[in-house]
Structure 1
Amino acid sequence: MRTQSYNVLFLCTGNSARSVMAEALLNVLGKGRFRAYSAGSFPSGQVQPIAAELARSVGYTEPLRSKSWDEFAQADSPSIDMVITVCDNAAGEMCPIWPGHPITAHWGTPDPVAADGDEEARRRAFHSAWLMLRRRVDLLLALPLEKLDHLATQREVRAIGQTAANHEK
């Protein structure tokens, strides 16, 4: 029996930290069941070093780059099954029209780039965002997507975004 592969696009305004970390997590943990991408409405043009370090720590070896969501609205782009915003700004912005009516959800995650303080405080903020995204990716991976219809899948993926970050170990 062939299991369907799902294409997921994580969006954030700058595409430099949260969306990139979510992309790395889902690509590694999804083990081929998912193909994750990330993009931004106003990409910064660079990936935050701590985000790249965390992606490498989980075994993600693909090159990470900050890119515009316009790349995924082209006719020759991968067909996207799910679009998940991870920052509140991107959730409120006017998104492109995605072909195929993908499932949409918002998984708001505090911006580690905005963290004040020294290097240790910044690292804690990135680690906290990483753990929140990891928990949500784990919940997505646990869904029996092959057994859910479009509306049920949308409801479940949106509910994951309501999951609190209090599951840190």
Structure 2
Amino acid sequence: MKILVLCTGNSCRSQMAHGFLQSFDKNITVCSAGTEASGRLNPGAVKAMAEIGIDISGHTSDSVEKYLNEEWDFVITVCGGANESCPAFSGKVNKRLHIGFDDPSHAQGTEEFIWSEFVRVRDEIKEGFFQFYTQEVKPLL
């Protein structure tokens, strides 16, 4: 089973989703990528995941180009905001899905508020991807 999670920057939401999917099942192959990969992970995303025992600090922020020639069981986009455009994937895909989330890296305000946005989005990603895993992935394994 191969799953690719896509967003624009591949620094935050797709990285958290990648971490959750891998934590649900070590036997599935999970990658994440961005159409405009930032080349780095968002420190807030790394911290939010570490807080619940999932280490994504070793992940890399990769361009979607790296994965275009591979075959995927699922490609999932995670962009959420009305002003955001989700990337399209032109590679070989069995099933395309969209599970959208706000981008906590765009939060503005106090440090406490910004942190609360990372935690909120992290928890929403966990819930959304656990539902995806139990309904779409697990029955195929």
- TM-score normalised by the chain length of structure 2: 0.85
State the structure with more CA Rg: 1
Equivalent residue, structure 2, for 1:158 = none
2:33 partner SS: strand
Is residue 2:59 matched to residue 1:64?
A: yes
- Which amino acid counterpart does residue 7 of structure 2 have in structure 1? C
Is residue 2:9 matched to residue 1:17?
A: no
- Which amino acid counterpart does residue 35 of structure 1 have in structure 2? T
Checking the alignment, whether the CA contact within 8 Å between 1:83 and 1:103 is kept in structure 2 is: yes
Name segments (4+ residues, structure 1) moved above 6 Å.
none
Quote the Cα distance in structure 2 between the aligned partners of 1:55 and 1:7. 22
Aligned-residue CA RMSD in angstroms? 1.9
Checking the alignment, whether the CA contact within 8 Å between 1:41 and 1:90 is kept in structure 2 is: no
Unaligned runs of 5+ in 1: 1-5, 148-169
Greater RCO, CA 8 A, separation 6+:
2
State how 1:2-151 maps to structure 2 within 5 Å: 6-32=1-27, 34-56=28-50, 57-60=52-55, 63-74=58-69, 77=70, 79-88=71-80, 89-91=84-86, 93=87, 95-99=88-92, 101-143=93-135, 144-146=138-140
Q: Which structure has more strand as a fraction of its residues?
A: 2
Checking the alignment, whether the CA contact within 8 Å between 1:28 and 1:60 is kept in structure 2 is: no
Percent identity between the two aligned chains: 27
Checking the alignment, whether the CA contact within 8 Å between 1:18 and 1:109 is kept in structure 2 is: yes
